[in-house]
């Protein structure tokens, strides 16, 4: 271990691996985030901004609608600093609302459409939202919790409102207002709001709540703007106003929000919206219709596409894809190689977290620069260090494992109304603790070993679930896998490794298959890392971006243990 407060990462050796044209530093204008849209509309007003269910919406029209949204929100009492909630799938209305809220000087809080009533009530109450723009299918849920919240304005919209099949004037529903009617009856006259980009919060983005109740990360205009600009700069070949990208990731998730919306608007890209990210047939048809050059995704989407019987029918269409981002979860190397073989595109694995807007790392796209299994190198203007797991003042030497810490323009202002949690996570000098265990190699490439809280303790030996999962993925029968530690009944305080496995078609859930998987794992893992138990599942619990929720599996195990007692 190095001396306290000496940072062996200060030389930023990763800069040597940057692709040609990617800057080490960017001058970020201190402007409101919504100005990205205004600039795109000014420079490329006639270009298609949004393609949705065969409807094309230009950047000029996009700006006009968002201006109208800002105007009617102000007429409802929304002002600078107000929080407005959005609970919508990937409809054009999400983008109109998001940018309209910002133009009104207000703060966006985006809610997952999968939230339960108690979860939605918590986010609305914690954020203080008095206005919500919602998918009409969420209305019953909202009405059931309205009296437990501060909601005054409920604005609803339908999936077909911005399609060729839209009603001219949808009927009003008691207690709500129709988004489409409000837009059509409002003249665009957004307020002139003075924004301090460094200090003013643009988005309250709630974390997944993996350790207790969700927390609202305060992301400023500059946090989100800088991350969008850095993400765009990472791929210098993408010229403004000339690309098409598939927006399949949910926009209410920070990954989709930055990579599939804000970054694309900055580059005046045509965004092809897929309203249901789990509908892979629709996804393939959209690729055939629009032939996108960019496809930001997550490992589970790539896995499921490869499993489809009709994937080869779309081989020619898939060849249009040149660039794929992958984040939110670890990408199994075998999946990466097979998807690239099928498409000819290149997957760039990266890393980020809500508290960092979210992107902090990515693999370079240049020939020979990508390292499979690595999250790549830090983004422009991003500092990174690895610290001891039990003492964040001790910096670990190169090649040693520890907790990843990050500092840069994308790092949040703090947690909403949670000073103690903010102090625990965000240091006064701007460094944020990620909770992830990682290491850096001699060339400045970083590797995530696992989540700090997910480490398995087998009689004092540390086991990282991802290491076990990567080996299991290589077995011919395994489609998906997750590993975690469960209490060892024979050794109090110790754990045993348990694996949850989804099998490929054609393989039987049997003791013979389980033993074969264990034998396979023994060839690559130390004996204490080999799963003691294997449980077969038809599916694994995931969030909407395809990240396996180990916390849900852990909760199931705890409930099962209580039942036995």
| Residues in CB range of 217: below 8 A, 6 or more apart | 204, 205, 206, 207, 354, 355, 412, 415, 416
User: Which neighbouring-strand residues pair with 206?
Assistant: 216
For residues 42 and 331, give the distance between their C-alpha atoms in angstroms, rounded to a whole number.
38
Cβ contact 185:208 at 8 Å? no
Cβ contact 203:109 at 8 Å? yes
CATH architecture observed for domain 455-564: 2-Layer Sandwich (3.30)
Query: Across the chain, how many H-helices and E-strands are there?
Result: 17, 26
Cβ contact 434:192 at 8 Å? no
For residues 413 and 395, give the distance between their C-alpha atoms in angstroms, rounded to a whole number.
24
Q: How many Cβ atoms from other residues are within 10 Å of residue 199's Cβ?
A: 11
For residues 251 and 14, give the distance between their C-alpha atoms in angstroms, rounded to a whole number.
30
- Range 274-278, long-range pairs (CB < 8 A, 24+ positions): 274/90, 274/246, 274/247, 274/248, 275/52, 275/53, 275/89, 275/90, 275/91, 275/159, 276/89, 277/90, 277/248, 277/249, 277/250, 277/301, 277/544, 277/545
pLDDT in tens, the chain (565 residues): 444 556 778 899 999 999 999 999 999 999 999 999 999 999 999 999 999 999 999 999 999 999 999 999 999 999 999 999 999 999 999 999 999 999 999 999 999 898 889 889 999 999 999 999 999 999 999 999 999 999 999 999 999 999 998 888 999 999 999 999 999 999 999 999 999 999 999 999 998 644 457 899 999 999 999 999 999 999 998 899 999 999 998 999 899 999 999 999 999 999 999 988 778 888 999 999 999 999 888 777 888 888 888 888 988 888 888 888 777 666 777 788 888 887 777 788 899 999 999 999 999 988 889 898 899 999 999 999 999 988 999 999 999 999 999 999 999 999 999 999 999 999 999 999 998 889 999 999 999 887 767 778 786 666 778 778 888 988 999 998 989 888 888 776 778 899 999 999 999 999 999 999 999 998 888 788 899 999 999 999 887 666 778 778 888 887 877 766 5
| Residues in CB range of 155: below 8 A, 6 or more apart | 131, 132, 133, 134, 176, 177, 178, 179, 182
- Residue 3: predicted pLDDT: 46
What sign does the dihedral 298-518-436-208 (CA atoms) show? Answer: positive
- Residue 70: predicted pLDDT: 98
For residues 108 and 127, give the distance between their C-alpha atoms in angstroms, rounded to a whole number.
10
Question: What pTM did the predictor assign?
Answer: 0.83
Domain spans of the chain, in order of start: 33-47+57-194, 455-564
Cβ contact 485:498 at 8 Å? yes
Cβ contact 62:41 at 8 Å? yes
CATH class of 33-47+57-194: alpha beta
Cβ contact 202:220 at 8 Å? yes
> Considering only CA atoms, which of 7, 83, 178 is closest in space to residue 416?
83
Q: How many Cβ atoms from other residues are within 10 Å of residue 479's Cβ?
A: 18
| Phi, psi torsion values for 564, nearest 5 degrees | -65, -35
Which three-class secondary structure state does DSSP give residue 191? coil
- Residue 150: predicted pLDDT: 97
- Residue 223: predicted pLDDT: 98
- Would you state the structure tokens that stand for residue 561, as one six-digit string? 């243990």
Q: What is the DSSP letter of 17?
A: G
- Residue 264: predicted pLDDT: 98
- Residue 460: predicted pLDDT: 64
Would you mind telling me the total number of residues written for the chain in this entry?
Answer: 565
Cβ contact 546:300 at 8 Å? yes
């Amino acid at each position: 271990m190095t001396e306290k407060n000496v940072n062996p990462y200060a030389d930023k050796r990763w800069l040597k691996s940057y692709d040609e044209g990617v800057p080490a530093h960017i001058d970020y204008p201190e402007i409101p985030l919504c100005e990205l849209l205004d600039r795109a509309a000014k420079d490329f007003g006639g270009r298609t901004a949004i393609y949705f269910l065969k409807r094309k919406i230009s950047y000029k029209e996009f700006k006009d609608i968002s201006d109208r949204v800002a105007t009617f929100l102000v007429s409802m009492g929304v002002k600078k600093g107000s929080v407005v909630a959005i609970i919508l799938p990937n409809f054009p209305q999400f983008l109109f609302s998001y940018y309209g809220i910002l133009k009104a000087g207000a703060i966006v809080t985006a809610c997952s459409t999968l939230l339960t009533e108690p979860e939605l009530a918590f986010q609305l109450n914690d954020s203080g939202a008095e206005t919500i723009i919602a998918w009409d299918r969420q209305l019953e849920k909202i009405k059931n919790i309205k009296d437990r919240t501060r909601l005054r304005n409920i604005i609803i919209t339908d999936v077909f409102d911005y399609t060729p099949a839209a009603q001219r004037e949808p009927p009003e529903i008691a207690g709500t207002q129709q988004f489409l009617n409000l837009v059509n009856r409002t003249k665009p006259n957004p307020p002139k709001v003075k924004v301090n980009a460094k200090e003013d919060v643009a988005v309250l983005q709630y974390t997944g709540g993996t350790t207790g109740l969700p927390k609202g990360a305060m992301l400023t205009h500059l946090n989100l703007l800088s991350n969008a600009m850095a993400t765009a700069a990472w791929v210098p070949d993408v010229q403004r106003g000339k690309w098409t990208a598939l927006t399949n990731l949910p926009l209410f998730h920070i990954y989709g929000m930055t990579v599939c919306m804000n970054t694309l608007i900055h580059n005046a890209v045509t965004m092809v919206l897929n309203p249901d990210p789990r509908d892979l047939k629709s996804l393939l048809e959209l690729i055939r219709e629009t032939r996108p050059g960019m496809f930001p995704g997550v490992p589970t989407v790539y896995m499921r596409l490869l499993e489809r019987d009709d994937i080869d029918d779309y081989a020619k269409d898939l060849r249009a894809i040149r660039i794929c981002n992958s984040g939110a979860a670890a990408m199994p190397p075998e999946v990466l190689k097979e998807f690239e073989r099928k498409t000819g595109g290149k997957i760039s694995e990266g890393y980020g977290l809500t508290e960092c807007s979210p992107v902090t790392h990515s693999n370079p796209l240049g020939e020979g620069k990508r390292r499979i299994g690595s999250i790549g190198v830090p983004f422009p203007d991003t500092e990174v260090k690895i610290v001891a797991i039990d003492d964040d003042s001790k910096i670990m030497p190169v090649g040693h494992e520890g907790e990843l810490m990050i500092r840069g323009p994308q790092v949040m202002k703090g947690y909403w109304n949670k000073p103690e949690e903010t102090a625990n996570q965000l240091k006064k000098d701007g460094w944020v603790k990620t909770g992830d265990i990682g290491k850096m190699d001699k060339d400045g490439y970083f590797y995530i070993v696992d989540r700090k809280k997910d480490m398995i303790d087998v009689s004092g030996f540390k086991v990282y679930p991802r290491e076990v999962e990567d080996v299991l993925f290589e077995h011919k029968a395994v489609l998906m896998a997750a590993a975690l530690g469960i209490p060892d009944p024979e050794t109090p305080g110790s754990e045993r490794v348990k694996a949850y496995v989804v099998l490929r078609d054609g393989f039987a859930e049997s003791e013979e298959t389980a033993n074969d998987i264990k034998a396979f794992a023994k060839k690559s893992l130390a004996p204490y890392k080999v799963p003691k138990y294997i449980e077969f599942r038809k599916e694994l619990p995931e969030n909407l971006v395809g990240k396996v929720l180990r916390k849900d599996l852990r909760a199931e195990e705890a409930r099962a243990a209580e039942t036995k007692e």
